[in-house]
Amino acid sequence: MSVPVASFAIEVQPTPEQIQVTVERGKAAAAQGVSPDQLHTWFGAKEDLAPRGFIMTKLGSLLVMANHLSLRALAPSEQDIAQVLANGNLLVNVVLFGERVDFAADSYVVLEQAGRTVKPSSVRFDARGDRTTLWPQQPAYRAKVIAQFPYADLDPHTKTTLTVFPSGGGQVSFELDFAHIE
Buried b (16+ CB within 10 A) or exposed e, 107-137: bbbbbebeeeebebeebebbeebeebeeeee
Which phi and psi (to 5°) does residue 40 adopt?
-65, 155
Average pLDDT of the segment spanning 122-147: 93
Contact by Cβ (8 Å): 130, 143: yes
pLDDT in tens, 165-176: 998 788 999 999
pLDDT in tens, 75-119: 999 999 999 999 999 999 999 999 999 999 999 999 999 899 999
pLDDT in tens, 28-56: 999 999 999 899 989 998 888 999 999 99
Q: According to the model, what pLDDT value does residue 47 have? A: 86
Beta partners for residue 59, in sequence order = none
Count the helix, strand and coil residues of the chain and give each as a percent rounded to the nearest 5. 25, 30, 40
